């Protein structure tokens, strides 16, 4: 093992623990700084928790996760519809975390489980972020009196979307807690050479946390992957490198193998449905502007940048090294495992996350996906110390001027935070789907349902069409396909194809009596509902009701269609209902088909579903799961992920080289079809 030579035993490369009196803190800085840090954490946590509770709600997309949890609890597996293996949730960790909490909580409603879990994770994530930043400043505060005040943390909780999505039932709270934990652990790791060596347990834990990034959200792999690379570069022994690779890769690689074999895809179903590999730069710029304009985010950006420059100029940030590292690889390793490298890593990660989402076109929910970049960029200045002049290398007069400058900048940040926290946000456009396609999701559903805090699936029954769907299901015990009607109080119904009539009775010439008809208990027919809002719909109907959408989150056919170039962001796939009629046991001719649909298109869609590639994709998610199916899905997952279907049935037939039927089926008369 390469050894670092130094006069200070605290940095010897033998990595022996530094002897320290029992009970001493890692950084014995002033009691005032320590107490003020914890007071700041407590105050910000209370303010954030209170603000999030005042804006509590569960989003429709949050209810989508709960439908999958219901299937897990019922033993149907991680699916949205039983019998169809579709991964309708982006965050693997969030899905199973809610499932575990629901299993432990017993009879507690799933909505309340998700609400409490999201709120606790959001608040704890912010607290971890502040504690990590306080630890970052700790070495420079040794022997100096200082007060630690919240800065970037105030900016984050002041932005209304941060409080909106703290309790939305989505994985936003999980992302906050994950990033806060990763930041705190990376800061501890960066200081290990100066304080005490990080043991194998800590190294394995940090590698595990970094590796789980892709399972928290796929795009977070940009952060977790870079953290693992930094750890591999900093380590100087092959055993530690093997430990990092195994701890960081075992869980995500194992789940990826499961995903490929079970779902037949390389990526989550949501990534396929939204074509995460595509780009919409212009829409992304609109989304960034939509997030910045109501709150003037450039103002705190300038103030916090000025604060960072002041802290850097007074060497409050530990950018320097007190001991000259040796030349060669040891110098590179020490440079990577340093507080300065961790700060650059997190700031760069925030910029990469922002760039990724701008390239993607952002989202249809105001501010949601840019909260993660904002959280990362604020990490190095989540709290800031105001250092008193005594005990510093600068003159007392200069020290007072610097302390006054930091205080003035902090007061400006606090003033902006107070203004932004009471901002009207998007104003009149908050609940209207304008050309940008972006809405304030919480206010939109609060207005549409009439509930200030729509929390449960029952609250969403007051959303247009929701009560009507329950009436339609109850009125069609024989089964039906429900299509949204132009009238918000009704649904268009497509009946089930009636069974073939039994063979007529022929009297026995010997006079034997007619056998009694077998008694059959009435059976409930199949139901499918075709609608955009999967969450509220899926949580208000039974698991035996198939719920699919035209976007492709829960519909394998729609998911494999091409992305519309100018569609609304997040909704830029749109499967025609003709495909849904063709893909089920529904009547495919008039008058069963609604009059606004073309029976010829239905016939063409039915023929297009016989395409060999389409059949293979559908069999991968609908065929019975066994070892052969798992291996086949695993081997063909790359091909299935790339497969695309043309949403126009005629063009799809031409693409597959199939014959185009020129006419639909004959009208249904109620009589058996002619034939042998």
pLDDT category of residue 356 using cuts at 50, 70 and 90? very high
Please report the pLDDT score of residue 194 as a whole number.
55
The yes-or-no verdict on residue 503 having pLDDT over 70 is no
Q: How far apart are CA 90 and CA 214, in angstroms?
A: 10
Each as own residue / partner, the long-range contacts of residues 42-49 (CB below 8 Å, 24 or more positions apart, any chain) are 43/150, 44/126, 44/127, 44/130, 44/150, 44/153, 44/154, 44/157, 45/123, 45/126, 45/127, 47/157, 48/122, 48/123, 48/126, 48/157, 48/162, 48/163, 48/166, 49/119, 49/123
Write the pLDDT tens digit of every residue in 549-558. Answer: 999 999 999 9
**Cβ pair 362, 286 in contact under 8 A:** yes
Above 50 in pLDDT, residue 28? yes
Q: What is the pLDDT of residue 513?
A: 54
Determine if the peptide bond prior to 591 is cis (ω within 30°). yes
| Domain termination site, one of 407, 429, 451 | 429
Give the separation between CA 538 and CA 555, rounded to whole angstroms.
Answer: 13
Considering 401, 429, 457, which residue would you say is the last residue of a domain? 429
In a domain, 562, yes or no: no
pLDDT at 484: 93
Residue 505 has a CB neighbour count (10 Å cut-off) of 9
Determine the structural domain holding residue 585 and report its residue range: 576-665
Residue 557 CA to residue 272 CA, distance in Å, equals: 11
Express each pLDDT in 425-460 by its tens digit: 888 888 888 888 899 999 999 999 999 999 999 999
pTM, two decimals, is 0.88
Average pLDDT value over all residues in the chain: 86
Determine the pLDDT at residue 665.
Answer: 55
> Does the residue 490 lie in any domain?
no
> Which has the closest alpha carbon to 532: 556, 551, 557?
551
670 has a pLDDT exceeding 80: no
Residue 505, in any domain of the structure: no
Question: pLDDT band at residue 569, thresholds of 50, 70 and 90?
Answer: confident
pLDDT value of residue 389 = 72
| Total count of domains within the chain | 2
Regarding beta strands 480-484 and 527-530, do their DSSP bridges make them parallel or antiparallel, or are they unpaired?
Answer: parallel
Is the pLDDT at 196 greater than 80? The verdict is: no
| pLDDT > 70? residue 4 | no
- Inside any domain, residue 25: no
263 phi/psi in degrees, rounded to 5: -95, -15
Please check whether residue 235 is in contact with residue 113, taking contact to mean a CB–CB distance below 8 angstroms: no
Residue 633 in any domain: the answer is: yes
**Can you give the pLDDT at residue 486?**
84
**Please, are residues 355 and 149 in contact by the beta-carbon 8 Å criterion?**
no
Q: What is the mean pLDDT of residues 195-218?
A: 87
pLDDT of res. 489: 87
Q: Would you say 373 and 301 are in contact if contact means Cβ atoms under 8 Å apart?
A: no
Is the residue at 152 inside a domain? yes
| Residue 674: per-residue pLDDT | 41
Q: Which of 16-30, 217-231, 286-300, 516-530 has the lowest mean pLDDT?
A: 16-30
Tell me: pLDDT of 566 over 90.
no
Higher-pLDDT residue of 391, 41: 41
Instruction: Classify burial at 432, counting beta carbons within 10 Å of its beta carbon; exposed 0-12, middle 13-18, buried 19 or more.
Output: exposed
Q: What is the mean pLDDT of residues 491-510?
A: 67
Q: Residue 671: its pLDDT value, please?
A: 46
pLDDT at 17 over 70: no
* pLDDT tens by residue, 160-179: 999 999 999 999 999 999 99
Q: Please give the C-alpha separations between residue 415 and each of 51, 154, 377, 518, 523, in angstroms, as whole numbers.
A: 17, 10, 20, 80, 66
Average pLDDT of the segment spanning 472-482: 94
Query: What pLDDT is attached to residue 324?
Result: 46
In sequence order, what are the beta bridge partners of 383?
Answer: 150
Pick 229 or 24 by higher pLDDT: 229
Range scoring the smallest mean pLDDT among 136-140, 323-327, 614-618: 323-327
Q: What is the pLDDT, as a whole number, of residue 563?
A: 86
Q: What is the pLDDT of residue 314?
A: 66
Characterize 290-321 residue by residue with b for buried, 16 or more Cβ atoms within 10 angstroms of its Cβ, and e for exposed.
bbeebbebebbeebbebbbebbeebebbbeee
Percentage, residues of the chain above pLDDT 70: 84
Q: Tell me the per-residue pLDDT of 238-258, one tens digit each, with 9 for 90 and over.
A: 888 999 999 999 999 999 999
Asked, for residue 158, whether it belongs to a domain, the answer is: yes
What pLDDT band is residue 393 in, cutting at 50, 70 and 90?
low
pLDDT value of residue 398: 62
In a domain, 245, yes or no: yes
Choose one of 397, 429, 461: the last residue of a domain: 429
pLDDT band at residue 604 using 50, 70 and 90 as cut-offs: very high
Can you read off the two tokens belonging to residue 62? 């949050």
Three-state SS for 185? helix
Q: Do 628 and 621 meet the contact criterion of CB atoms below 8 Å apart?
A: no
| pLDDT above 90: percentage of residues in the chain | 67
- The predicted-structure confidence for 210-239, as pLDDT tens digits, reads as follows 999 999 999 999 999 999 999 999 887 888
Number of Cβ atoms within 10 Å of the Cβ of 142? 12
Task: Check whether 499 has a pLDDT greater than 80.
Answer: no
Residue identified by tokens 């909580």 is 105
């Amino acid at each position: 093992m390469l050894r670092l030579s130094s006069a200070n035993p605290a940095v010897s490369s033998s990595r022996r623990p530094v002897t320290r009196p029992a009970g001493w803190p890692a950084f014995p800085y002033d009691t005032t700084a320590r107490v003020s840090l914890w007071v700041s954490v407590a105050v910000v946590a209370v303010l954030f928790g209170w603000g999030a509770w005042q804006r509590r709600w569960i989003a429709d997309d949050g209810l989508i996760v709960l439908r999958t949890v219901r299937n897990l609890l019922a033993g149907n597996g991680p699916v949205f519809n039983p019998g169809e293996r579709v991964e309708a949730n982006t965050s693997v960790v969030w899905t199973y975390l809610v499932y575990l909490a629901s299993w432990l909580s017993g009879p507690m409603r799933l909505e309340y489980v998700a609400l409490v879990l999201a709120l606790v994770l959001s608040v704890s994530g912010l607290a971890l972020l502040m504690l990590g930043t306080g630890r970052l400043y700790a070495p420079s505060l040794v022997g100096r009196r200082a007060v630690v005040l919240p800065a970037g943390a105030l900016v984050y909780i002041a932005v209304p979307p941060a409080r909106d999505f703290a309790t939305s039932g989505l994985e936003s709270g999980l992302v906050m807690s994950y990033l806060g934990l990763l930041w705190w652990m990376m800061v501890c790791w960066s200081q290990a050479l100066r304080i005490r060596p990080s043991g194998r347990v800590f190294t394995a834990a940090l590698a595990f946390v970094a590796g789980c990034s892709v399972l928290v959200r796929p795009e977070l792999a940009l952060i977790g992957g870079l953290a693992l690379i930094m750890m591999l570069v900093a380590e100087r022994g092959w055993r530690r490198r093997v430990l990092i690779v195994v701890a960081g890769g075992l869980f995500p690689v194992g789940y990826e193998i499961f995903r490929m074999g079970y779902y037949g895809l390389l990526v989550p179903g949501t990534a396929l449905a939204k074509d995460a590999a595509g780009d919409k730069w212009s829409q992304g710029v609109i989304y960034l502007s939509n997030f910045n304009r109501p709150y003037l985010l450039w103002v705190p950006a300038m103030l916090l940048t000025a604060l960072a420059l002041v802290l850097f100029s007074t060497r409050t940030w530990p950018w320097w090294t007190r001991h000259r590292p040796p030349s060669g690889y040891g110098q590179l390793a020490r440079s990577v495992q340093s507080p300065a490298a961790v700060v650059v890593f997190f700031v760069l990660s925030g910029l990469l996350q922002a760039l990724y989402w701008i390239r993607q076109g952002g989202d249809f929910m105001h501010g949601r996906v840019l909260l993660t970049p904002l959280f990362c960029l604020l990490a190095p200045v989540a709290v800031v110390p105001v250092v008193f002049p005594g005990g510093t290398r600068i003159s007392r007069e200069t020290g007072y001027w610097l302390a006054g400058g930091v205080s003035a900048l902090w007061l400006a940040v606090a003033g902006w935070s107070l203004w932004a926290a009471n901002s009207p946000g998007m104003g009149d456009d908050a609940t209207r789907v304008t050309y940008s396609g972006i809405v304030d999701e919480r206010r939109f559903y609060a207005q549409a349902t009439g509930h200030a805090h729509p929390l449960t699936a029952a609250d969403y029954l007051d959303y247009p069409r929701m009560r009507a769907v329950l009436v339609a299901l109850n009125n069609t015990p024989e089964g039906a396909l429900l299509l949204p009607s132009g009238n918000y109080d009704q649904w268009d119904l497509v009946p089930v194809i009636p069974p073939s009539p039994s063979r007529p009775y022929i009297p026995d010439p010997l006079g034997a009596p007619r056998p009694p008809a077998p008694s059959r208990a009435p059976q409930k027919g199949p139901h499918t509902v075709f609608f955009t809002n999967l969450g509220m719909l899926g949580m208000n109907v039974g698991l035996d009701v198939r719920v699919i959408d035209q976007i492709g989150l829960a519909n394998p056919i729609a998911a494999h269609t091409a992305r519309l170039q100018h569609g609304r962001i997040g909704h830029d796939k749109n499967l025609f209902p003709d495909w849904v009629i063709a893909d089920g046991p529904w009547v495919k001719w008039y008058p069963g088909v609604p009059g606004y649909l073309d029976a010829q298109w239905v016939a063409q869609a039915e023929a297009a579903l016989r395409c060999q590639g389409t059949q293979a994709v559908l069999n991968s998610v609908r065929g019975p799961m066994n070892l052969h199916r798992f291996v086949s899905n695993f081997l063909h997952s790359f091909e299935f992920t790339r497969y695309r279907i043309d949403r126009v049935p005629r063009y799809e037939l031409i693409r597959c080289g199939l014959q185009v039927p020129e006419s639909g089926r004959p009208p249904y008369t109620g009589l058996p079809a002619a034939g042998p």
